[in-house]
Each structure stands twice: as structure tokens, then as C-alpha cells.
Amino acid sequence: MFIDEKTQVEILADLNCSLVHGTLRACDLVPAFLEVIENTPEYAQIMQTNNYKLNVIFDPSADENDERWESDDMSYFLNEELFDILNNYAPGGYCFQSHPGDSSDFGFWAICDICRPR
């Protein structure tokens, strides 16, 4: 775990460690990524609004095979919104992404040539 320097919010992940490994499925990634930011205002906003994009998460009858995990809304939320939130909490010298050597290994990694903004 680390503390975000700007907000003093505790981020529930370790630096340079796998958060999720061996999967690219939204049903695995989204819950794990949300858990990392559960102390943030963004998490509270997502949970309070019961965001329609995440209705599969709030549905107790949903399972990993629910087609909503593969929806365009879920894909947008995961790849655009959630990754942006996580990257905004990455401390200086780090970025949130898949590991440069393994695209199914997600975490806060030290910045290298692969993840430097161009």
C-alpha cells in the first residue's frame, strides 16, 4: 500500500508488484482495480451513483459469464475511465499499466521507456 502524495489517500496496492496476473477479462480486472481505489472519492462516486456501466457488479445474480462484462460500456469504463483513475494515483516515477514484459500482469510499475508519455 502507498499514500497518494496529493490527496493523502491510501491506495491499496504495492508498487512494482502484480495486482492482477494472468487474465485480461473485465470480470477479473474491474473488481480488483476498484478494490485498489476503495478509499478514494472516485470510488465513492462510482458506488454511490450505481453507474449503469457497472450494473453487472451490483447484480448479485451475475457471474463471470454474464455478457455485460463484455459490453462496450464495460470496455470503455475499464480501458478509459478506470485506467485513468489508477494512473492519476500513480506516484511520481510510476505508472499504472500492464507490465512491460507481460501484458496480463497489471500493477503500478516504475516508469520505463515503454510507459513514458510520448
Mean pLDDT of the chain: 88
Query: What's the CA gap between 8 and 118, in Å, rounded?
Result: 28
Confidence of residue 118 (pLDDT cuts 50, 70, 90): very low
Q: Residue 105 pLDDT > 80, yes or no?
A: yes
Q: State what percent of residues in the chain have pLDDT above 90.
A: 62
- 111 pLDDT band, cuts 50/70/90, is confident
Q: Name the more confident of 68 and 89.
A: 89
Q: Which residues contact 4 (CB under 8 A, 6 or more apart)?
A: 10, 11, 89, 91
pLDDT of residue 54: 77
Average pLDDT over residues 4-29: 93
Contact 69, 31 (CB under 8 A): no
Query: How far, in Å, CA of 66 to CA of 45, rounded?
Result: 24
pTM of the predicted structure, to 2 decimals: 0.86
